[in-house]
Structure 1
């Protein structure tokens, strides 16, 4: 072999290795690289951030290439995994791309719990409001007037009210679920973590597409988008979705179906680049949910077993809307449990390269109007029929500076300011006429604002060892104003009419004083990471997170219930590794965590001692439900994520989450002892039970995995994909200490599968699939909110469907 050919081969090999090292930093499109040509020297220098002179062998190569008749065609190889850049970032965030979300049939945020280890997301009492629990940290909040322990973001905009996250999971590019204290590089600080959802951005080439999803039980979902340029520096994207049908629950007495979806959503995006240093995005979204509510099934009727025994069919339910109640809240007397919610948001995002730093601004305004009728006792007996009316708007402004690396590119920094202003109104109506003889309404207004500042600095001690430090301060100020309870009596008998002063109906009401809750605390994080090898990263971190205090607004019947509860905070210790082996064919990421959970915010009960005939400064003596702070708890466990490409076309994935959680210092009211004392003495007295050492009730093991195989080309131009997936969750209690018996959600295993046919250019596809393939009947959550019964929400039955779409 000649010297010239040997040198050419050496340069080709060296350049290929360098290109492969840079491949994970290049922008990807549908799993591949947008730019296939070999990078120039200037591109390499820009990507690596170096300005060193050109090596001598490279100068010789350019001279040889200038005289050589042949040309080198150097191409970057696309790595088989997604999210390659994130493999070099410390942390245990779970990343999901659009393909995974579609294959696993994720249509709303509730479905994410089947893919992310140690994540539990549940509907609050059949309402549209989700409650998030990540690594055992979370909060029940039916009235949605408190900040969740796990924050949801859409396109970088934080939603401090969890119900606002419903109805926006369409045309999604990716989802990232990060556990532990957050808020050090963007948005709001929190204790449990965050769920970041990114929609697809406008494209500089014209694209459009539509897909249709048809399932059993007349369930359907239609999604469409169109995207492209308006001018050379202005692009747009418009996407929409509608979902209909799918009812599988029924009224045990009439057979009437309930549970049909009726959802519509739109999103529009504009992206403008006025110059090479500036990018501006305008994003507007709107969704309307007029679906039937998630009606509960009956586990036990405490007041009168003759009403109905436990449902043998977990899809059975019951309701009976009182015409007077319907008139009072302004809905049709023929209504079934249902939602009537509208949410919209507009966000303006701007980014500018200032030279010494990049500045990013995010301005957002969101509004939600919730109107929900839910029968929470699952009976035609009227003891837990509820109607919630709420109106919430959120304005937020964030400014973030990310500095240019300093000190020979070893020092990195980021700082930002965040502000939000929330105004909310809520009214909770209860029909308890068969139980107490009256309707009850509790309403309130809650203004609040949060001002936060954060900064993160990191230093590359060596080329492989990095140290980072983060600090965040937040001041959260909220008030509870105009909290009032009203009781409406609709009388029928002469004696009852006499009680109302001769009227067929009357009203009593009581107002409570204004209260405030102020949180003014710091959060922080220290992280050390070591890039042992280019394919092995190890890290360790210690962090402290804070979540603001708030108020209980469900049903206020005593002054003590409007007292604010304290902020909660957590100390988290985590170690982990991120690895890839066998030429990027096997990826194994794992972490160990330990949380010291302080002042956990939890729905509990308290007692005002004394006789109910003699009021105290806190109100009428009695036993009341309200939020309490659990002084100390701990959660600990591990998470492992495995992905593999053992042979061509075959992709395997497995997520493992193991969690243990317990109360270390928790004294709670013994309701049975309090009731017994009152029955014998006519006086209320406080009796406490210690739950020290009790399990917190979260699933101890969460598993999910999938196997996907792409065949070799069929008829030269087509391919077939076979996919199977599963999820498994061990038992969970009703999130109350030491839940047993009916309060336990049994463990369950779900299996799904699909087969897809598409051309090699991916212009269209046809998919047949099944979810819950084995037809498993399982309980998803047990609810203890109803007045006279214990109820539960059943999980989805087997759905078989077909999906087809076009993408041009």
Structure 2
């Protein structure tokens, strides 16, 4: 430990010079912010300015002392970002694990929640048009008509939401336009895949404008069942959004947002070791020809008000969102006499209200202050088809002829209310130096109501009798309150117009809560405590070669306390040795760096390359299954990504270009215990496209291929439950064509 502490102290005693902070860029390069098209300067192409709102106001990304990765609308389209988790492929130190309930879990710099229960918000806050998303189940929305995406790395405990120990991901939709315009996009590929997207925007009057966008994605699926011959994983998704902007006067702007969608897709099946791959499986369910499926519907509205009151801007963001979720998923990954499957039925409702004041900016002092309220209610009922588990009816008090328990479930209602007050001030006390101070107080009250475990049983083979059912224990209620202060101190130094150096100390906080997984006794429902991350970070943002190269680098050390992860409940009932629940498994430390580079070294060539490194270790385990110096889940030591575009022909009216991107990650574990089965080896994925782009931007046509090497990699896995070892794979090779038209 002493040697490790000496390294940290030495790192922060370095003189903040461009050479010291840019040193990692001499060793490796990274992908951060890459404008879709560089701006021409004579015969040279320079990088475009990227505007972000990481500090709740519009700023050039290179003027913000935070590690940020951003994608504009063109990149979102070219990189085939269709769902929120897709951005991880081009973001350093960002990983995603798909767990047993087909819900993505985000991890940034080794900080994330490795749990499949939907009542646990991730440690990475997710925001859509400034509205916080409370449950990971609500992160299954389609990305369409997207203006930009911002990934803020490190704790965001001052300005953003409730659960930001790892970072925040911000998704922004295209806004209504002052002139009539529209866009149509179509994409088609193998396995019956096609995507249709359209948007129309323009004024309705002198003060009113609107935008309507819709997206539908369909496919036959890419995973063939090697036992039944059925195809799994077909897509059937539709999403829509309507924006209405009213500007009755020059100092007042109101944006009304209504959005919704349906997802009636099939699901990929799990596989067991030795069978299946990225295009095959053996998993089945009892209905619909054995193909797992979902039937989800979402609906939401929000109202954003910006009112300039003299030198101060008042902002109000009000929202309501709901999700009705039904999924019939394969859990055991194989065909057997008695299956182990799951039926997930969830209703989620959330209401949020944020009020804030900010000065107009532009002077030596910029500040923002506000209050936040959020309430979410989750009604969750999970039914497990467990005839293959062999639970003895005697353990449930059932006599013969009941040979086996047929179904088990877990049911509960969780209500969470959050209250917060926050403020941040940035003071430029000289032409070169600025100081940022931020503070946030958060209180979260959680109730877990009507928690119980329903069961049912049928008579054994050759016997007769009624289907019987009951509750393993009477419904129980629990309540816990959590509160904490979190803050930030940062110092920025502007060496010149092209060099920003920064150092910060910030703390993120994520409240505790209750497990949302199966239990056999109320004694197993044990509240877990909040987790905190204290971050020390230094970084540099360098613009070089007269605007043709950008190097953004950061080095960080995290003191991670009360890490929340899925742990084991020992001594289960009814013949089950182990059950699982979210709990505090230990303290940890994370030491790492990342380097983001973008460049236009030649007039026709654009490059973006990336590297991230993590040395993440458990320093003080709280549970016996976790080893000291073990790695947190989903935290590869090294990760790389990159993109390249070369304009092969540049004619007067069009450009013929070749574009490619890749991502590679080191080996990682899907669990906190470093289980050998859940060790995923290092792998890489390569994508490419050949396109023709009109110079005036009105149309674009491409031929594309994704996962060209047909890399066989796993996207998640699970072990130790009654279903045994199961795993799920990422998508195999796909290919197709696309066409985009704007007017």
Question: What TM-score does the superposition give when structure 1 sets the normalisation length?
Answer: 0.81
Aligned residue in 2 for 1:595: 558
Residue-pair matches, total? 685
Matched, 1:445 2:382: no
Aligned residue in 2 for 1:553: 516
- 1:393-792 to structure 2, matched below 5 A, reads 393-404=349-360, 409-435=363-389, 436=391, 437-438=404-405, 439-493=407-461, 502-607=465-570, 623-668=578-623, 688-689=624-625, 691-697=627-633, 698-714=635-651, 716-740=652-676, 742-784=677-719, 786-792=721-727
Change (3 A) 1:506 1:523: closer
Aligned residue in 2 for 1:253: 227
- Write the deviation string for residues 562-590 of structure 1: whole angstroms up to 9, x where unpaired: 22111111101100000011110111000
Change (3 A) 1:506 1:364: closer
Aligned residue in 2 for 1:675: none
2:649–2:657 contact (8 Å) kept in structure 1: no
Q: Of 223, 238, 249, which aligns to 1:264?
A: 238
Paired with 1:271 and 1:294, the residues of 2 have a C-alpha distance of 40
Aligned residue in 2 for 1:59: none
Paired with 1:152 and 1:362, the residues of 2 have a C-alpha distance of 15
Aligned residue in 1 for 2:105: 131
Aligned residue in 2 for 1:90: 65
- Higher mean alpha-carbon deviation, 379-388 vs 143-152, is at 379-388
Change (3 A) 1:766 1:320: closer
Matched, 1:282 2:250: no
2:114–2:671 contact (8 Å) kept in structure 1: no
Change (3 A) 1:478 1:655: same
Q: Bigger radius of gyration, 1 or 2?
A: 1
1:187–1:398 contact (8 Å) kept in structure 2: no
Where is the strand percentage greater, Structure 1 or Structure 2? 2
1:107–1:169 contact (8 Å) kept in structure 2: yes
2:225–2:283 contact (8 Å) kept in structure 1: yes
Aligned residue in 2 for 1:390: 346
- Write the deviation string for residues 525-551 of structure 1: whole angstroms up to 9, x where unpaired: 000000001000000000111101111
Secondary structure of the corresponding residue to residue 74 of structure 2: helix
1:292–1:337 contact (8 Å) kept in structure 2: yes
Paired with 1:373 and 1:523, the residues of 2 have a C-alpha distance of 40
Paired with 1:690 and 1:186, the residues of 2 have a C-alpha distance of 31
Aligned residue in 1 for 2:48: 81
Paired with 1:621 and 1:802, the residues of 2 have a C-alpha distance of 50
- Write the deviation string for residues 102-140 of structure 1: whole angstroms up to 9, x where unpaired: 221111112111110111112221x34211111011113
2:71–2:149 contact (8 Å) kept in structure 1: yes
Paired with 1:165 and 1:649, the residues of 2 have a C-alpha distance of 37
| Aligned-residue offset at 1:182 | 1.1
1:745–1:782 contact (8 Å) kept in structure 2: no
RMSD: 2.4
| Aligned-residue offset at 1:556 | 1.8
Aligned residue in 1 for 2:270: 296
- Write the deviation string for residues 209-231 of structure 1: whole angstroms up to 9, x where unpaired: 21110011111111111011111
- Write the deviation string for residues 197-248 of structure 1: whole angstroms up to 9, x where unpaired: 0010010111112111001111111111101111122111100000011511
- Write the deviation string for residues 580-623 of structure 1: whole angstroms up to 9, x where unpaired: 111101110000011111111111123369xx79xxxxxx9975
- Write the deviation string for residues 384-405 of structure 1: whole angstroms up to 9, x where unpaired: 3001100010000000110245
- 1:4-43 to structure 2, matched below 5 A, reads none
1:546–1:567 contact (8 Å) kept in structure 2: yes
- 1:63-74 to structure 2, matched below 5 A, reads none
Paired with 2:36 and 2:318, the residues of 1 have a C-alpha distance of 30
1:744–1:782 contact (8 Å) kept in structure 2: no
Paired with 2:579 and 2:285, the residues of 1 have a C-alpha distance of 27
Matched, 1:354 2:309: yes
| Aligned-residue offset at 1:178 | 0.7
Paired with 2:735 and 2:696, the residues of 1 have a C-alpha distance of 27
Aligned residue in 2 for 1:230: 204
| Aligned-residue offset at 1:695 | 2.2
Paired with 1:783 and 1:248, the residues of 2 have a C-alpha distance of 22
1:296–1:791 contact (8 Å) kept in structure 2: yes
Paired with 2:320 and 2:626, the residues of 1 have a C-alpha distance of 45
Matched, 1:375 2:375: no
1:186–1:416 contact (8 Å) kept in structure 2: no
Change (3 A) 1:154 1:490: same
Aligned residue in 2 for 1:311: 275
Secondary structure of the corresponding residue to residue 91 of structure 1: coil
Aligned residue in 1 for 2:6: none
2:444–2:511 contact (8 Å) kept in structure 1: yes
Paired with 1:78 and 1:321, the residues of 2 have a C-alpha distance of 55
1:227–1:237 contact (8 Å) kept in structure 2: yes
Change (3 A) 1:230 1:189: same
Paired with 2:375 and 2:703, the residues of 1 have a C-alpha distance of 46
1:470–1:524 contact (8 Å) kept in structure 2: yes
- Higher mean alpha-carbon deviation, 688-697 vs 771-780, is at 688-697
Change (3 A) 1:32 1:364: farther
1:481–1:515 contact (8 Å) kept in structure 2: yes
1:128–1:166 contact (8 Å) kept in structure 2: no
Secondary structure of the corresponding residue to residue 379 of structure 1: coil
